[in-house]
Structure 1
Amino acid sequence: MAYDEELAERARAALKGVRGLAERKMFGGLCFTVHGNMVCGVVDDKLMLRVGADNHEATLKMKHAQPMDFTGKPMKGMVYVAPAGCKTAADVKPWVKRALEFVKGLPPK
């Protein structure tokens, strides 16, 4: 499975300067972690976000957010952002910020 490299660049830009940042290939796409905790990624042409169980439903109510059903069953705490919601760096930044806010509350791995 390929991933959208331009979207990956927009995610990298949104994460620029974040301490503990790493990226690796995962889920057939690209995954970004902070201190070992997954923040976001790019799968096909979608942005994948880790928002946590408490933020899951509120995030799904946002325009362009979709359940992450990578395994065929939606994963609570994870969402996809449709391509229409992440066309520009300005679109991607608030999504990534939302995921970072959740992950910064987790202990490092």
Structure 2
Amino acid sequence: MPYDEELADRIRALLDEHDPVEKKMFGGVGFMVGGKMAIAASSRGGALVRVDPSESDHLCELEGVERMEMRGRPMDGWLHVAPGRLDSDRDMQEWIDRGIAAAAAAS
């Protein structure tokens, strides 16, 4: 399934001031800020968001948020956020801000 281009356009618009670099990957499109992946429009629908790993458990308690898995293994510090949690620009901006902060903190 291809990624949601409308979602990718919304991410682009909200990330614009951060000079993101786009990278196609895993059937979706990722957005790098400061050379680190921050958020991606997922081929599963919704977004993949980089987060502080210490916040993952708490954030996964939210409906529509789950740990990203790759080949059956959970990816620490990455969450899949369902489309319904990204309906408003305010909601989307919150996830983008989390992704930017986690990318900036990544070594």
Greater displacement, 57-66 / 77-86: 57-66
Structure-2 residue corresponding to 1:37 = 36
Greater displacement, 40-49 / 67-76: 67-76
The structure that is strand-richer by fraction is 2
Structure-1 residue corresponding to 2:22 = 23
Which 5+ residue runs of structure 1 have no aligned equivalent? none
TM-score in terms of structure 2 length: 0.87
Report if the CA contact (8 A) 1:46-1:83 is conserved. Answer: yes
AA of the residue aligned to 1:43 = S
Residue aligned with 2:101, SS: helix
Report if the CA contact (8 A) 1:8-1:30 is conserved. Answer: yes
* Matched length: 106
Report the Cα offset of residue 67 of structure 1: 1.5
AA of the residue aligned to 2:9 = E
Separation in 1 of the partners of 2:99 and 2:61? 15
Which 5+ residue runs of structure 2 have no aligned equivalent? none
Residue aligned with 1:97, SS: helix
Report the Cα offset of residue 14 of structure 1: 2.0
Structure-2 residue corresponding to 1:89 = 89
Separation in 2 of the partners of 1:105 and 1:78? 14
Report if the CA contact (8 A) 1:11-1:89 is conserved. Answer: no
AA of the residue aligned to 2:95 = W
Q: Deviations over 1:43-97 (max 9, x none)?
A: 1211100113222212212332111123222211100101111123222111111
Could you list the structure 1 runs, at least 4 aligned residues long, displaced by more than 4 angstroms after superposition.
none
CA RMSD of aligned residues (A): 1.6
AA of the residue aligned to 2:55 = N
Structure-2 residue corresponding to 1:50 = 50
Residue aligned with 1:16, SS: helix
Greater displacement, 51-60 / 35-44: 51-60
